[in-house]
Amino acid sequence: MTPFEIGLVSLAAMAGLVMSGLFVPVALMLCSYVGVWAIKGSPLLAGKLLALAANDAISSYFFGVVPLFVLMGFITAEAGLGRDAFQVANHFFRRIRGGLGLATIGANAAFAAVTGISIASAAVFARLAVPEMTSRGYTAKFATGIVAGSSVLGMLIPPSLLLILYALLTEQSVGDLFLAGVLPGLLLAVLFGATVLGLAAFAPRFVGYGALEGTVAPDDELTALEILSKGLPLVLLILLTLGGIYGGIFTPIEAGAVGALGATLIGLAKRRLSLAGFWRVLTETGLVTASICFLLIAAQMYSRMLALSGVPAGFGGWVATAELAPVAIVLAYVALVSALGASLDSSSIMLILVPLMLPVAQGLGRDLVWVGIVTVIAVEIGLLTPPFGISVFVVKSTLAAEAPPLGDIFAGAAPFALAMLVALGLVLAFPWLATALL
């Protein structure tokens, strides 16, 4: 067999193993090792090449971005800044029909700007917002759907772990990708808000009639001092990290470290960060970082095997000679990413498809930063679609016995998945939405 044929067989074997339930990084490593062994004819050489790939994956300077931003996100959640953001947003939207839903989206957008972790957002706002909404007359289906839907903002509004992962896979600037995610992230938040208002106006039974009365509870009213004390720390943390990156004061790694320190100081100042809570944060950060590290090692091995086989170059050459319209190629890629989102998690999709798409995008002359934003939005849709829908499962598990059936949460999140399709279409049609700030 030629190296190209071995590469294709390895891809098919990897797909079969993943679909059979094997952990994606394990499938990538196994197929990469066997593929390099078959190409080079030596198991010892294959082991050495893949060991070098593993070393390169975790010794990268930019890998330091991951644990620091994860740490900042978990400290922010532990310090209760998500609850503060929700209370401030609810104060401003309290007199609008469906205003509590708008408050959830607004607070999630603000929270996303310091966490970058959709799972954290889903867990925090499932505990905060769902009980509030159901007590005000929202249906459980719609309340959980809003939380699951708006939690995906954490993967687009910077800092985003998916954008960091894409930067590591494609060797693009983390700062450029963060900047490119700002306008699409805000666009998606606006579309989510419009979805809530539209459903409140035209589908009151779906939303819940009690939500349409615009009742205001005494706790919704905040004084100017309370707004300042609850909102200012979050604003300062956003300015410190993202402003530091965009202003050229910090590198992304330094911004993550400064942000983690700032979040810790805020938590201590508010007396919300106990020793036990800080230990829990460190443990969760270690688990997430180790998981991402394992994924990156597998991705490097997979990329090396593909490069040796010549599959990406051959695929890129075929696309160039097939005279396919660039728009058709991009749409096919987006459709494939969205389809995989129904059965794989976000990181795994990027690990599998980005190395294959990279030479094609370069051959088409596409801006890789724009391709990254398109990829992340398409991947995010999978967070809300069955059967995987990780954001939906997080909301379900967080609420435990109080959660509605899983099918109801998926139904409640469906309008927000459609809003994401609209946002994806707009970014595809108007690439400047992702590149205007660069």
pLDDT in tens, 146-205: 999 988 888 888 888 889 889 888 888 888 999 999 999 999 999 999 999 999 888 888
pLDDT classification of 321: cutoffs 50, 70, 90: low
What gap in Å lies between CA 131 and CA 428, rounded to an integer? 37
pLDDT classification of 431: cutoffs 50, 70, 90: very high
What gap in Å lies between CA 181 and CA 156, rounded to an integer? 6
What gap in Å lies between CA 295 and CA 431, rounded to an integer? 29
Q: At which residue do the structure tokens 């960060």 appear?
A: 273
Q: At which residue do the structure tokens 């609209």 appear?
A: 422
What gap in Å lies between CA 413 and CA 410, rounded to an integer? 5
- Establish how many alpha carbons lie within 13 A of residue 223's alpha carbon, considering only the half-sphere containing its beta carbon: 3
- Establish how many alpha carbons lie within 13 A of residue 401's alpha carbon, considering only the half-sphere containing its beta carbon: 0
Pull the structure tokens for residue 287: 């688990």
Pull the structure tokens for residue 231: 């909102």
| pLDDT reading at 144 higher than 90 | yes
Q: pLDDT tens across 15-74, in order?
A: 788 778 777 788 888 888 888 888 888 888 888 877 887 777 677 666 677 788 888 888
Give the model's pLDDT for residue 432: 93
Q: pLDDT tens across 189-229, in order?
A: 999 999 999 998 888 888 886 656 555 555 557 788 888 88
Residue 219 burial by Cβ neighbours in a 10 Å radius (0-12, 13-18, 19+): exposed
What gap in Å lies between CA 152 and CA 391, rounded to an integer? 8
What gap in Å lies between CA 33 and CA 6, rounded to an integer? 12
Q: At which residue do the structure tokens 């074997």 appear?
A: 13
φ, ψ of residue 196 to 5 degrees: the values are: -60, -45
Number of compact structural domains in the chain: 1
**Domain of 370, in residue numbers:** 3-435
Cα 134 to its chain centre, rounded Å, is 27
What gap in Å lies between CA 372 and CA 134, rounded to an integer? 37
Give the model's pLDDT for residue 272: 86
Give the model's pLDDT for residue 218: 55
* CA pseudo-torsion sign 108, 111, 117, 121: negative
Q: What CA dihedral angle connects 89, 135, 147 and 96, to 10 degrees?
A: -40
Question: Residue 211: which of 104, 313, 96 has the closest Cα?
Answer: 96
80 in the Ramachandran plot: left (φ > 0), alpha (ψ -120 to 50) or beta?
left
Cα 256 to its chain centre, rounded Å, is 17
pLDDT classification of 365: cutoffs 50, 70, 90: confident
